[in-house]
Structure 1
Amino acid sequence: MAHFEKRGTKWRAQVSWYNPQGKRQFKTKQGFLTKSAARKWANEMEVAKDDNQISNQDPIFAEYFKNWYETYKTPGTTNGTKKRYKRIYKLLTEYFGKTKLSKVTRYRYQEFMNQYGKSHVKGTVYKTNGSINSSIRDALAEGLIRTNFAERINLTWNDERTRKIDYLNFNQVQQLKKSLLDGIKPSYISRYMLLTIIYTGMRPGEIRVLTWHDLNFEDHTIHISKSWDYDNNKIFDYDS
């Protein structure tokens, strides 16, 4: 059951539960103007208890994100991916400082993304918000917070810095393919790489590390299990 206590003019509420190890845990919140407001919060916590979505931990926002990506996202990835998460962690540290996860509001997070979008392109803004949003969804599932403040955010970006990409249409692709095939020889490796991209959509790094064992001439298939890691100058194995 919840416990309520009035301190001065404000109310304090506390709920308790037992963790899987049988140890009693407590979660407390104070500063409620009325007892009914305190009771409303306590009822929400009781529901969270039933759903196993309650925790007495309240980590710093930036530090939670760091622990999250180091645990779930970056092990076994390329240096480029690790650097991207580290940059986001640095941004969160600079903007939110030591703000606890439970203290971050949707309004404040929107302000953060507005500021970030002023100097970044659309793709970067979407990737950054997507990474943070994923971590917050996990925090919600762990019972650390009750709402996802990174949802329903209006994303803006700097159009002047956004590169415009013109893709080849079907006829242009056919012309390119015809040009590549014209007079092709086994020594024209770059032509074969471009043709493979056209036919399969593979990445250049994946094509670079193909071996004869990856080609199945009977089934007309290519087994893609690795790519070239340009950051570390070595092969990156997808299956590892």
Structure 2
Amino acid sequence: MAVIRQRSNGWTYQISWYDENGKRHYKTKGGFKLRRDAAAAAQEVELYHQKDGFQKEDTPLMLYIRKWYKLYKEPHIAERTKLSYLKSFAYIEQFFANKPMGGVGTDQIQEFINDLGKGKGVFHGHPHAKESVDKVRTHLSAVMKHAVRDGIYRFNPVEGTKVTFANAAKSERDKFLNLDNQKKLSAYILDNFTPKYFIYAFAYTGLNTGLRPGELFGLTWDNIDMKKQIIHVVQAWDYTTTFDFIPPKENHKRDVSITPKVVELLKDLRKHQMAHLKNPRNFVFLTYLGKVPSPVTTLRQFKQLQSASGIPDDDRVSLHGMRHSHASLLLYQGVNIKSISERLGHKDIQTTMRVYAHVLDEMKDRDDALIQQILEKEFG
């Protein structure tokens, strides 16, 4: 929109536009005797520039997002965080396509959030968890705050929206296998182990190490020291965006000890691979066709493994549940929480305490009873 002002030498107009790279340009011209002459001239210039560029409200949302990300985010964030932003932007582009900024308001954003969380519209059949929707909303809000400063919006249109989702996330209490079910699963794996199918070694390693699923998928044979019984966690596998190696979360590289039985299973797996599969990138876990397993396939097989082990439907967990199961077992057995935090690759001990607060609460109740017994025994 043109700005028309009266000056000492007549009327003046100023217009602005964005080129195809998102760069903003200005043009000012004065000396018009009448206001309508300045307005008409401004309109003519605006129409000319609209052929090759955009007025700010006509700038496509995704063009603005990409420019903002390149300038203000990409140079300053870690690789894993970059992937998180790019994933959010993919959802935004899937919904809004080439929609201009002027057509994206609070109502449209709320509709996007609703569809993403409920798995409707372009996301049909793929509802997203509360945490995922909230992250996308946060990323979009950051973009819109900048758009407010650019004068495209008077206020941030994301601020009036609410996160919606299909189902409440599982409580932390429901995310792990209890000791009895862990023993069932471990026993079944050892009794039925076959190196042809990766899921046996994958699940057994996950239960015994607490590695994140991405860290398990990203393991290569040179990460494993069989003699010292150690896994060097130096990378993960990005199975959502780049389909390549990325640093572990928080770039927290670490060594995780493994038991002789884990080593035994991995040796058998390695022997089978060398005899039957091509493995140029040296992956530890491959399908029987020599491919990196997908999370969907792995989860389906893991659920089948739990079922065959005799674990009830309601007690079965996701791939990430192996990690929670491992950590919860160590906590219940009295392992120092700092050691557990390091083993899990958490940023700090506070993260471990927050994630496993339910276990710590149960342990406090148990310890209170133990303290009472000790005091009564020693002092009457």
Relative to total residues, which structure has the larger helix share, 1 or 2?
2
User: Which protein is bigger by CA-based radius of gyration?
Assistant: 2
